[in-house]
Amino acid sequence: MGDNQKMSKYLSRKLKFISVFAMAAVVFIHSYNFKDEFLTPTTRISEGFSFPAMFEYFFSNELFRFAVPLFFAISGFLFYFRYVNTVRCYLSKLKKRLYTLLLPYVIWVVLSGVLLTVLSQFELFAGLGIVKEKAFDWAHFYWYFVSPAAFPLWYIQQLMLFSIISPLIYLLIKYTKGFILIPFGIMWLFNFHFIIDTQGLFYFSCGAALAIFGVSRNITRRDDNASAVSMTIIWVLLSLANTFLAVFADNSDFMSMVMLILYKVNEIVGVVAMWLIFDHIAKLITDKKGFIIAQTHLFFVFALHEPLTHLANQFALSESSGSLSHLALFVCLPFSIMAFCVMLSMMMRKNIRPVHRLMTGGR
């Protein structure tokens, strides 16, 4: 049972360090800077056969899409690790998440909106798309808590919803012996969305099932070179296939469905591949100071990289043109944004720690 488990030191470190790679992937996902800024599983590349656009698409909309599913799976696993389905445990979990999720959510929603509202007063930035779209409309202020300027905060929205319905998720998983994952998976596969994001529900529940059934010992470490290599090859080939489909496929419903299914399969393959690969990567980064620092300040990267990334992209590309400018920006900007977020977090944690704790939920 999940409530009797003890997490190994290796698994704890693996979850922390793999989160650094996943967060870097998220920043790259949001750094795609060609015409189709907000990518979906069936987005076609408007620029056609263009190496810079295809290069960015390959990473942003294919290879790195393992990140969000992996974060949901880790969140589900950690939520139900040593979970007891009692009123006391439930209320304790909710109380904790008021501090770790709800409070940071409100703070960052307001900060991101204020940032864009202030920038809208300057001619240099006022013309940028994200500033015009997301600066505060005070008559509809409440809407920014539904659709914040820092749009990655939708992830926290979903985690809060999963926390509220956590007893139901527990009962469905436990008393169906995990078979509830099949309808959850079908809803996710065919993009059946409602208030709850079905991608999040599926992967969160997958992580929850691993914890509830006490199988963490089987996922901790696998020094299986053949599996890691084969899954990585499949991951890369699926990513390449969908990238070329995004250029050459027609806009028919059939081709859109093919791209959607390949994309979803690639998500699962990417999650598994990254999990297996990391057992080999971990040998190279054991206790590396840089990774420890990055993991400590990961929440600032998550909360602050948007709308900064979009602002930087739109501003830089308004001053330059050409595919190579796009590509150079894509390669360099994510690292610059991550470094800035980590340094700001370090500075605030050192000098105004109470404020930093409120902004990060005590992380």
Nearest to 247, CA basis, from 52, 65, 38 = 52
Range of the domain at 155: 2-360
- In this prediction, residue 263 carries a pLDDT of 95
- In this prediction, residue 158 carries a pLDDT of 95
Whole-angstrom Cα distance, residue 231 to residue 237? 10
Contact between 356 and 107 (Cβ < 8 Å):
no
Count Cα neighbours of 307 within 13 Å in the Cβ-side half-sphere: 28
| H or E element in which residue 180 lies | none
- In this prediction, residue 1 carries a pLDDT of 47
Number of domains in the chain: 1
- In this prediction, residue 78 carries a pLDDT of 93
- Go through 324-349 and write b for each residue having 16 or more CB atoms within 10 A of its CB, e for each that does not: eebbebbeebbeebbebbbeebeebb
Cα distances (angstroms) measured from residue 305 to each of 153, 186, 340: 11, 32, 9
Contact between 334 and 27 (Cβ < 8 Å):
yes
- Go through 102-121 and write b for each residue having 16 or more CB atoms within 10 A of its CB, e for each that does not: bbbbebbbbbbbebbbebbe
Whole-angstrom Cα distance, residue 120 to residue 363? 32
The pLDDT profile of the chain, 363 residues, written as one tens digit per residue, is 444 556 777 888 888 889 999 999 999 999 999 988 789 999 999 988 999 999 999 999 999 999 999 999 999 999 998 889 999 999 999 999 999 999 999 999 999 888 888 888 887 777 777 777 777 777 677 777 888 888 899 999 999 999 999 999 999 999 999 999 999 999 998 888 777 899 999 999 999 999 998 765 556 666 667 888 999 999 999 999 999 999 999 999 999 999 999 999 999 999 999 998 888 777 676 667 777 777 889 999 999 999 899 888 888 887 666 677 889 999 999 999 999 999 999 999 999 999 999 999 988
Q: What is the pTM of this model?
A: 0.91
- In this prediction, residue 141 carries a pLDDT of 73
